């Protein structure tokens, strides 16, 4: 009787599921092989939901699973055996479990040759897992205990565009050009809430977003951004930056649109580019706003020109600045839509 029900559900779905995604015989196999601990919705046959079940091990996963949700469990071992049939996995969520480096079996991840998204946040890892699937595009490992990035771990990872390592225990000697070698197409890197004292080395020229909030960074090398021509967003909130650690034109970058320097030790507004759109300087030690310092050269003459200042949002609250806002500042940034002081 159970098989008749499975067949009936599968027949109902054939009009909804395209044959090139999951053939009829695969659909039957997928539904009948759903683990008893999990939920496999007939309307989404490529997904298996095993989250919030109190699981201590990974059940046998059906062979045609693309999306596997295992978050919020008690899993401490990631074995290749449990996933031996799930060779088509594209996405696996293992957030908020108890997986350690010792519990991660050799080649358990590499065997997932089609995996593009790997979530292992809020576990007990002390090092980046290795080897990784070669097709991986997003690797999210925030809030573990990672202090090591093994040299060569990103070798051949040409598809990786997002690397999230926030909330770990990384120090300067772990984030170097040698350790990051292989990230040829990285777009976003998140190293917030680690133990960095200096700017990370070895970021590829494809990087557009760098998140470094809540570290201990005190200075930025004068030529640091020279090799990052596509940088769009830079977040350095809650560090130890003072004006002496910021070279005069280090942020005068034509590509950057969003610059966040909140909760530092700045006493003056740094030089910015005319193309910057969002500037966060709240909770520093700035006492005054001098329009001649913040306004890009020539801006008052060509503010209607397409090359004029593009600043739209400015935060200055939490400083020692008293209103009113200088009229020259408003004249310079004609596109300004919000200013918090």
Has residue 262 got a pLDDT over 90? yes
Has residue 8 got a pLDDT over 80? no
Closest CA to 189 of 232, 131, 250, 145: 232
DSSP category for residue 244? G
What average pLDDT does range 231-252 have in this prediction?
97
Mean pLDDT over all residues of the chain? 89
With cut-offs at 50, 70 and 90, classify the pLDDT of residue 15.
very low
- For residues 125 and 98, give the distance between their C-alpha atoms in angstroms, rounded to a whole number: 9
Where b means 16+ CB within 10 Å and e means fewer, 285-317 reads ebeebebeebbbeebbeebeeeebbbbbbbbbe
Give the tens place of pLDDT for each residue, 320-331.
Answer: 998 787 888 888
Has residue 282 got a pLDDT over 90? yes
């Amino acid at each position: 009787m159970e098989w008749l029900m499975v067949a009936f559900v599968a027949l109902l779905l054939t009009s909804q599921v395209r044959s090139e995604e999951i053939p009829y015989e695969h659909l039957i196999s997928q539904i009948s092989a759903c683990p008893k601990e999990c939920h496999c919705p007939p309307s989404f046959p490529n997904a298996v939901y095993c989250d919030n079940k109190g699981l201590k091990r990974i059940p046998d996963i059906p062979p045609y699973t693309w999306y596997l949700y295992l978050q919020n469990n008690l899993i401490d071992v990631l074995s290749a055996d449990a996933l031996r049939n799930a060779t088509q996995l594209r996405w696996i969520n293992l957030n908020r479990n108890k997986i350690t480096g010792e519990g991660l079996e050799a080649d358990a991840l590499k065997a997932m040759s089609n995996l593009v998204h790997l979530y292992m946040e809020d576990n007990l890892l002390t090092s980046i897992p290795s080897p990784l699937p070669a097709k991986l595009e997003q690797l999210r490992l925030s809030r573990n205990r990672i202090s090591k990035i093994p040299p060569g771990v990103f070798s051949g990872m040409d598809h990786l565009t997002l690397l999230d390592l926030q909330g770990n225990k990384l120090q300067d000697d772990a984030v170097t050009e040698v350790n990051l070698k292989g990230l040829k197409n990285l777009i976003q890197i998140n190293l917030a809430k680690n133990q960095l004292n200096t700017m990370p080395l070895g970021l590829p020229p494809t990087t557009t977003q760098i998140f470094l909030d809540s570290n201990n960074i005190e200075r930025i090398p004068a030529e640091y951004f020279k090799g990052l021509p596509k940088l769009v967003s830079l977040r350095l909130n809650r560090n130890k930056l003072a004006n002496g650690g910021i070279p005069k034109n280090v942020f005068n970058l034509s590509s950057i649109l969003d610059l966040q320097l909140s909760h530092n030790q700045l006493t003056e507004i740094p030089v910015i580019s005319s193309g910057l759109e969002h500037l966060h300087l709240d909770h520093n030690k700035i006492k005054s706003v001098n329009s001649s310092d913040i306004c890009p050269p020539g801006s008052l003459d060509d503010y209607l020109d397409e090359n004029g200042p593009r600043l739209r949002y400015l935060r200055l609250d939490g400083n020692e600045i008293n209103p009113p806002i200088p009229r020259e500042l408003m004249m310079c940034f004609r596109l300004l839509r919000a200013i918090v002081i």
